[in-house]
C-alpha cells in the first residue's frame, strides 16, 4: 500500500512555535515598514522564502499571519481574500520549492503581484452573485478588478524588484543557518 505524503504527521516543537512567531513578526514588521508605499510589500517574498526553507510547517505561519492581520486591522472583505490568497501562494511556492533560480522567483513573485487583484475579485464576484446571479457577480467583480490593474502593476514591479534584490542574500543567510529553519 502506498503512503500518502500529505497525511504524514507534522511534529511541532517548542522551537517551531517560537520560530513561527518570529516569522509572523518578520512579515508584520516588513509589511509595516513598507506601508507608506502603496502595493509594495514583503509578505509575498517572505512567504515564498519560508515555504522554500521551512517546508510544510509554513502551513502554520500563514494562518497565524492572517489572524494577526485580522486582529490588527479588523476583518472585512480583504481579510476573506487573505484566507485563500496567501495559502494559494504557499501551495504554488511548495510546488516549485526546489527551483533555485533568482530570475524564476523574481518573475514568479511579480506574476503573483499582478494576479493579486484578480484573485481578490473572487470575493466581489460572490457578493454580486448573491444578489444578481452570474451577471451580478461579473458586474461587481470585473470593474473592481479592472480599476485595480494599475495597482496590480505596481504590486508586480515591487514584488519582482524585492525578490531580485533580496533573494540571494536571504538565501545565503538561510543556508548558513539551517537551525532556524
79 has pLDDT over 70? yes
Instruction: Tell me, yes or no, whether 5 lies in a domain.
Output: no
Angstrom distance (rounded) from CA 48 to CA 94: 8
Burial 147-161, CB ≥16 within 10 A → b, else e: ebeeebebbbebbbe
Say what the pLDDT of residue 115 is. 97
| Beta-carbon contacts of residue 152 (< 8 Å; ≥ 6 apart) | 39, 113, 114, 115, 116, 117, 118
- What's the whole-number mean pLDDT along residues 23-37? 96
- What's the whole-number mean pLDDT along residues 34-40? 95
| Region of poorest pLDDT, from 22-31, 58-67, 130-139 | 130-139
Other CB atoms within 10 Å distance of the CB of residue 108: 21
Instruction: Tell me, yes or no, whether 119 lies in a domain.
Output: yes
Cell of 83: 484566507
The model carries a pTM of 0.89
2 has pLDDT over 70? no
Residue owning grid cell 505596481: 154
CATH number assigned to the domain comprising residue 148 = 1.10.1760
Q: Which residue has the higher pLDDT, 49 or 55?
A: 49
Angstrom distance (rounded) from CA 143 to CA 27: 31
Q: What angle do CA 50, 79, 44 make, to 5 degrees?
A: 25
35 has pLDDT over 90? yes
Model pLDDT for residues 125-171, shown as the tens digit of each residue: 888 877 778 888 788 888 889 999 999 999 999 999 999 999 999 99
Angstrom distance (rounded) from CA 95 to CA 78: 26
Instruction: Tell me, yes or no, whether 165 lies in a domain.
Output: yes
Instruction: Tell me, yes or no, whether 7 lies in a domain.
Output: no
Instruction: Tell me, yes or no, whether 138 lies in a domain.
Output: yes
- What's the whole-number mean pLDDT along residues 60-70? 95
Angstrom distance (rounded) from CA 103 to CA 116: 20
Say what the pLDDT of residue 58 is. 87
Number of domain units in the chain: 1
6 has pLDDT over 70? no
Instruction: Tell me, yes or no, whether 6 lies in a domain.
Output: no
Residue owning grid cell 521551512: 54
Instruction: Tell me, yes or no, whether 111 lies in a domain.
Output: yes
Instruction: Tell me, yes or no, whether 179 lies in a domain.
Output: no
14 has pLDDT over 80? yes
Angstrom distance (rounded) from CA 165 to CA 42: 12
- What's the whole-number mean pLDDT along residues 21-35? 96
Full domain range(s) for residue 20: 14-174
Q: Is the CA virtual torsion 93, 98, 99, 100 positive or negative? A: positive
3 has pLDDT over 60? no
5 has pLDDT over 70? no
Nearest to 84 by CA among 52, 126, 50, 54: 126
Cell of 76: 472585512
Amino acid at each position: 500500500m502506498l503512503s500518502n505524503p500529505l497525511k504524514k504527521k507534522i511534529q511541532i516543537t517548542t522551537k517551531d512555535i517560537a520560530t513561527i512567531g518570529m516569522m509572523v513578526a518578520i512579515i508584520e514588521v516588513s509589511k509595516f515598514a513598507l506601508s507608506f508605499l502603496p502595493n509594495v510589500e514583503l509578505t509575498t517574498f517572505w512567504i515564498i522564502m519560508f515555504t522554500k526553507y521551512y517546508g510544510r510547517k509554513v502551513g502554520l505561519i500563514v494562518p497565524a499571519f492572517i489572524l494577526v492581520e485580522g486582529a490588527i486591522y479588523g476583518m472585512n472583505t480583504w481579510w476573506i481574500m487573505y484566507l485563500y490568497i496567501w495559502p494559494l501562494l504557499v501551495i504554488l511556492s511548495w510546488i516549485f520549492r526546489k527551483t533555485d533560480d533568482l530570475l524564476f522567483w523574481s518573475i514568479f513573485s511579480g506574476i503573483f503581484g499582478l494576479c493579486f487583484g484578480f484573485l481578490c475579485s473572487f470575493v466581489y464576484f460572490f457578493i454580486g452573485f448573491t444578489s444578481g446571479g452570474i451577471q451580478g457577480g461579473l458586474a461587481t467583480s470585473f470593474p473592481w478588478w479592472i480599476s485595480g490593474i494599475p495597482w496590480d502593476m505596481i504590486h508586480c514591479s515591487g514584488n519582482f524588484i524585492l525578490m531580485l534584490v533580496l533573494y540571494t542574500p536571504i538565501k545565503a543567510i538561510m543556508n548558513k543557518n539551517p537551525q532556524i529553519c
